[in-house]
Chain A
């Protein structure tokens, strides 16, 4: 019986040992934003689409000694009087930064919608319909090009809206409520930045307006977040109601400029049609190459074959074709091709645990925030440590995401211009340790996205440049380990991404922020 007791005690110890299931989520641990510099000259920075910071005028605020303003201070006090733990948590969450939190919300929406539609019974596939977003298949299918474009529009629009906001902040120079009324309770770090119009409301307004276009079926969730965001600013004592109203209105106005561009950037026609798909296949055959064939069952139409024609942010479409498009891949009948195919087979046949780890770390496939989302997460973790102002956050996220959208365009252009088959099409023995994407092989999307991101991030945070380059290289090679890309796809993808990233650096050097 002694033995039994010993065993029971052992079991109990194991039980206690395994008791804690609490997980620490690093995005929940981000500190409140405390900018090293308020970037008070940001109103002079070069916008992306706005003709200037005054294109959408912001009316002068009421004076801080008016009864109206006093009433708004009292609104803060009434919100604070019965503050709950949930409200404190909400203030803490949003205090990490508006650009950061809305980037995370966008990543959530992408992951939620990054699901390929199920085939119809007759072997065809349905397409999502933006005018009926909640019917299956829900709109959008937030695949990597769609996601890259969504991240770019949101980030660029946030940046333009904040440039305008910074202009009016310095013009009107209205103090934050806690600097008007010293008795006010403040739940976030104090700042000397003028609070009218509210930068948080600007970001919220511009983002919610763009998301009506990009994620039309998720309005309830988005509006809930927007209300929570505004409320957190009141509860925190950071903004009075009129700061928020002016910021939201400015944001929504600026958004229209980007919505108009998005409606005319040719992304709406990127899915193509059967005639175009067949033409691409026939063009490859005419070049004496083996054309890409969908390896899904039933065969799925290629993902967004005309995405390469979408209007880039950082250069024009002609530059892309003449300067950025990579040279042709090794011919499918060449010795180099055979050698590269053999390399892929070797990783497929005998992957090491470490190769599987790398393939999975970077897989960013179905049901995830995609590779551009991954780089937004990497950037966010690092930007948090840099104590950027909101406007500099937005500027850097805009540079990063415009680079990745343009990388998507350049990559998709090459994929459909060359229409190169995947390794597993050429050697049926090749099985993959990551999901096989349903589009041509050359060049690797992960490589192009990652190099573009690493190049501009290395410019933004120079001490990290070598680190970002190493990450991009690992992301690139993860696709060879996963047995879905040849080495040429990855090498040329990195080169192309670096070129695109160079255009982002060129913009960064001249936008007035450096």
Chain B
């Protein structure tokens, strides 16, 4: 449950940034955008398998996250992005100690492979590859207090963005290949005993839909996303969660970016999400906010490609 939460937190943090691997906006060549984000996510109810419940021995489980994210334009059609979050967990009731630490370093390559005008509209297609891996030796085997799921993940994402005047819609889907993880224990039970410290993590699919209004570096959008774990098992009645559980979640939310009128290189960003469906994870509500600053090394005036597209 915690793992899913963390994964979602990472995705969420990226969603909140002005430029992410998962939206239709590209940085121009030699432009670098970077900034801090703070995120807070919490849940009281969770899905034990498909059964929704609360737990007086956890109360509300919260995750605070502080991260740095950046996006560099290698060319106007090829961007590199990274993120590195620090995560802290806490349960408001019960005895379990919250954990904290640097979670997963993530790195993306975002390639706008195709872009064509259709009347007033423009269709762009993207191919995105990403990789994330733990940046510290945290344990995934203490859910829901673990700060992450520990697997190394490879993301292969295809994305389509359609913009009509200043309105846009973006849809993307990713296959997430997850590596095995190693527990501190040398045996564990899932639906059978395993005499090894290694856990096979099921792969996952990630879908994202976002639509809204873009103008001069600002945007406001509605977002819906879904994380579906392929395979994995359900938490049994009153059991603890386990990293290779079948963790699914569907969320809806709002997101925005707004460049400061007095200094357009500086933008404020924010988002909020609610979880509308899930399995083996918390029904999280999350908020995130932060700043992004654009450094232009191109010698030209800073701009984003979508500005010239509109």
Residues of B near A377 (CB, < 8 A) are 187, 195
B180 touches A23 (CB 8 A): yes
- For the complex, is A432 an interface residue (Cβ under 8 Å from B)? yes
The residue on B at minimum CB distance from A15 is: B154
Closest beta carbon of chain B to A36's beta carbon, Å: 24
Name the one of B96, B98, B177, B239 contacting A15, with C-beta atoms under 8 angstroms.
B177
B239 touches A21 (CB 8 A): no
Roughly how many angstroms separate A108 CA and B185 CA in the complex, as a whole number? 16
Query: Of the 9-residue stretches A38-46, A236-244, A365-373, which lies at the interface with chain B?
Result: A365-373
Number of interface residues of B (CB under 8 A): 45
Name the one of A23, A367, A483 contacting B194, with C-beta atoms under 8 angstroms.
A23
Residues of A near B93 (CB, < 8 A) are 297
- For the complex, is B74 an interface residue (Cβ under 8 Å from A)? yes
Residues of A near B131 (CB, < 8 A) are 11, 14
Query: Of the 9-residue stretches A110-118, A406-414, A458-466, which lies at the interface with chain B?
Result: A110-118
Roughly how many angstroms separate A424 CA and B91 CA in the complex, as a whole number? 15
Query: Of the 9-residue stretches A24-32, A89-97, A150-158, A302-310, which lies at the interface with chain B?
Result: A24-32
Query: Of the 9-residue stretches B32-40, B134-142, B286-294, which lies at the interface with chain A?
Result: B134-142
* Binary per-residue interface labels of chain B (65-82) against chain A in the complex, 1 for a CB within 8 Å, 0 otherwise: 000000000100010000
Instruction: Please report which residues of chain B, range 168-227, place their CB below 8 angstroms from some CB of chain A when the two chains form the complex.
Output: 177, 179-180, 183-189, 192-196, 198-201
Closest beta carbon of chain A to B152's beta carbon, Å: 6
B193 touches A360 (CB 8 A): no
Closest beta carbon of chain A to B135's beta carbon, Å: 14
- For the complex, is B298 an interface residue (Cβ under 8 Å from A)? no
B236 touches A367 (CB 8 A): yes
B193 touches A483 (CB 8 A): no
The residue on A at minimum CB distance from B111 is: A4
Roughly how many angstroms separate A289 CA and B256 CA in the complex, as a whole number? 59
B95 touches A424 (CB 8 A): yes
Roughly how many angstroms separate A116 CA and B177 CA in the complex, as a whole number? 35
A366 touches B240 (CB 8 A): yes
Roughly how many angstroms separate A435 CA and B179 CA in the complex, as a whole number? 27
* Binary per-residue interface labels of chain A (363-396) against chain B in the complex, 1 for a CB within 8 Å, 0 otherwise: 1011111000010010000000000000000000
A431 touches B129 (CB 8 A): no
A107 touches B177 (CB 8 A): no
Name the one of A104, A297, A363 contacting B185, with C-beta atoms under 8 angstroms.
A363
A26 touches B177 (CB 8 A): no
Beyond A24-B196, A26-B196, A295-B95, whether A360 also contacts B183 by CB under 8 A is yes
- For the complex, is A353 an interface residue (Cβ under 8 Å from B)? yes
- For the complex, is A513 an interface residue (Cβ under 8 Å from B)? no
B97 touches A21 (CB 8 A): no
Roughly how many angstroms separate A367 CA and B189 CA in the complex, as a whole number? 7
Roughly how many angstroms separate A353 CA and B111 CA in the complex, as a whole number? 39
A436 touches B95 (CB 8 A): yes
A27 touches B97 (CB 8 A): no
A367 touches B239 (CB 8 A): yes
B238 touches A117 (CB 8 A): yes
Roughly how many angstroms separate A443 CA and B63 CA in the complex, as a whole number? 35
The residue on A at minimum CB distance from B59 is: A297
Residues of A near B183 (CB, < 8 A) are 360
B109 touches A432 (CB 8 A): no
- For the complex, is B94 an interface residue (Cβ under 8 Å from A)? yes
Residues of A near B97 (CB, < 8 A) are 348, 351, 431-433, 483
B237 touches A136 (CB 8 A): yes
Residues of A near B236 (CB, < 8 A) are 115, 367
The residue on A at minimum CB distance from B53 is: A118
Number of interface residues of A (CB under 8 A): 54
Closest beta carbon of chain B to A365's beta carbon, Å: 8
Residues of B near A435 (CB, < 8 A) are 96, 240
A357 touches B189 (CB 8 A): no
A8 touches B129 (CB 8 A): yes
A115 touches B237 (CB 8 A): yes
A18 touches B195 (CB 8 A): no
Roughly how many angstroms separate A237 CA and B154 CA in the complex, as a whole number? 48
Name the one of A356, A366, A432 contacting B95, with C-beta atoms under 8 angstroms.
A432
Beyond A21-B180, A23-B194, whether A4 also contacts B189 by CB under 8 A is no
* Binary per-residue interface labels of chain A (343-359) against chain B in the complex, 1 for a CB within 8 Å, 0 otherwise: 00000100101001100
A360 touches B196 (CB 8 A): no
B177 touches A18 (CB 8 A): yes
Closest beta carbon of chain A to B82's beta carbon, Å: 14
Closest beta carbon of chain B to A313's beta carbon, Å: 26
Name the one of B96, B141, B189 contacting A369, with C-beta atoms under 8 angstroms.
B189
Beyond A4-B111, A297-B94, A431-B98, whether A104 also contacts B193 by CB under 8 A is yes
A108 touches B184 (CB 8 A): no
Roughly how many angstroms separate A436 CA and B240 CA in the complex, as a whole number? 13
- For the complex, is A62 an interface residue (Cβ under 8 Å from B)? no
Closest beta carbon of chain A to B191's beta carbon, Å: 8
Residues of B near A25 (CB, < 8 A) are 194-196
- For the complex, is A7 an interface residue (Cβ under 8 Å from B)? yes
Name the one of A18, A111, A430 contacting B193, with C-beta atoms under 8 angstroms.
A111
Roughly how many angstroms separate A435 CA and B196 CA in the complex, as a whole number? 22
Which residues of chain A have a CB within 8 Å of any CB of chain B? 3-4, 7-8, 11, 14-15, 18, 21, 23-28, 104, 107-108, 111-112, 115-119, 136-137, 295-298, 348, 351, 353, 356-357, 360-361, 363, 365-369, 374, 377, 424, 430-433, 435-436, 483
20 A-B residue contacts at CB 8 Å? A4-B111, A7-B111, A7-B129, A8-B129, A18-B152, A24-B196, A108-B189, A111-B189, A136-B237, A360-B185, A361-B186, A366-B238, A366-B240, A367-B240, A369-B187, A369-B189, A369-B193, A374-B187, A431-B95, A436-B95
Which residues of chain B have a CB within 8 Å of any CB of chain A? 56-57, 74, 78, 93-98, 109, 111, 129, 131, 137, 139, 141-142, 152, 154, 156, 177, 179-180, 183-189, 192-196, 198-201, 236-240
15 extra A-B contacts, CB within 8 A, seeds A11-B156, A21-B180? A7-B78, A7-B109, A11-B109, A18-B152, A21-B200, A23-B198, A107-B193, A108-B189, A112-B189, A297-B94, A366-B240, A424-B95, A432-B96, A433-B97, A483-B97
